[in-house]
Amino acid sequence: MKLQHIFFSIGLLFCLYQPLKAQNFATDKHAVWLGINSDMSFTFGNLYSKDGYSNTKVGISSSYFVAKNILVGAHVNALIPNKTHELQIGPHIGYALGREDMQHHPYIIAGLSYVKMEKDIEYTYWGTKYFTLKGIAYKAALGYAVSLHKHLALNIEVGYQYASVSTTNLPSNKYEISTSGFYGGLGFSVMLFK
């Protein structure tokens, strides 16, 4: 659990500590985006089930523009409660189009997440048991930030994610599972700039 706290704390402090100076528009150097989002995904693989499976995640993110149009940040996502409990936390990097005269901003983003999951696993000899699995997830997405107000945007995002988790708590050996799939998301971002 300490690794997730470190990732998120560093990202959040980095984004919030930087002074908001000299940025004239939403994707200018030193601008900050703070967001909240909800993603609906359809995944393939046996992480959630053997067949295709859909789920909904909610999350928060913070992004800091280290240069004009180039952002880095951190995100936290959690699966809306069902039989599987999941938390993802990690860094991301991206590129957002933008000029001073633009109100809407298309963007591309890539991220890496530490994943912690708790779920029931059917095991041949011991039946169904509740296990904690840990691993890594990768994502890539295209998005569009639609300006609702000078400092508020609606984010529309579509992307692809791959995740692999494992546990060593089984009596006989290591248990590894993975999944991949597409997702679509909606969210809001507060854009901090001059």
Lowest mean pLDDT among 20-29, 42-51, 63-72, 155-164: 42-51
- % of the chain surpassing 90 pLDDT: 33
Q: What total of structural domains would you count in the chain?
A: 1
Of residues 179 and 46, more confidence is placed in 179
Choose among 115, 123, 112, 116: nearest CA to 174: 123
In the chain, DSSP finds a helix count (H) and a strand count (E) of 1, 8
Q: Decide: pTM greater than 0.85.
A: no
Work out the mean pLDDT of the chain and round it to a whole number. Answer: 79
* Range from 43-57, 87-101, 142-156, 175-189 carrying the lowest mean pLDDT: 43-57
Among the ranges given (47-51, 91-95, 123-127, 172-176), the one the predictor scored with the smallest mean pLDDT: 47-51
Within 13 Å and on the Cβ side, how many CA atoms surround 27?
Answer: 23
* Helix H or strand E encompassing 186: strand 175-192
| Band (128; pLDDT cuts 50, 70, 90) | low
Per-range mean pLDDT, top range of 84-88, 128-132, 134-138, 148-152: 134-138
Neighbours of 193 (CB within 10 A): 20
CATH number of the structural domain spanning residue 19: 2.40.160.20
Taking the C-alpha atoms of residue 87 and residue 54, their distance in angstroms, rounded to an integer, is: 16
Q: Tell me what the mean pLDDT of segment 176-186 comes to.
A: 85
Confidence of residue 139 (pLDDT cuts 50, 70, 90): very high
The 10s digit of each residue's pLDDT in 63-96 is 999 999 999 999 998 887 666 778 899 999 999 9
**pLDDT for the residue numbered 188:** 93
The tokens for 26 are: 């939403």
Per the structure, the complete domain to which residue 80 belongs is given by 2-192
Q: Which residue has the higher pLDDT, 48 or 10?
A: 10
